[in-house]
């Protein structure tokens, strides 16, 4: 199982978050670093994957309300559509 842990209190941008997903899940170089692209590539994961967002309530302060809402939505949608994806938002 691959695991990605992101501490929302320490990320400063969506670029950092996308970079962590890219590295953790071996996304291809053509990964577009958008929420749509993230959703697409998470949908292709065929082994168990765990994503934990620590300090979830700090996410808006780190990346802004719009990006925080979008990231949560895409992660929840990906987990609902792909049984290999497990997402936790922790405070």
Closest residue by Cα to residue 75 from 29, 32, 18, 28: 18
Contact (CB, 8 A) for 7 and 63? no
pLDDT of residue 60: 97
pLDDT digits (tens, 9 = 90+) for 4-54: 999 999 999 999 999 999 999 999 999 999 999 999 999 999 999 999 999
Residues in the chain: 91
């Amino acid at each position: 199982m691959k695991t990605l842990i992101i501490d929302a209190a320490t990320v400063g941008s969506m670029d950092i978050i996308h970079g962590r997903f890219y590295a953790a899940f071996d996304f291809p170089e053509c990964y577009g670093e958008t929420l749509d692209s993230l959703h697409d590539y998470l949908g292709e994961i065929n082994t168990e994957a765990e994503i934990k967002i620590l300090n979830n309530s700090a996410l808006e302060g780190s990346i802004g309300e719009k990006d925080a809402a979008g990231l949560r939505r895409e992660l929840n949608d990906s987990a609902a559509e792909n049984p290999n994806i497990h997402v936790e938002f922790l405070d």
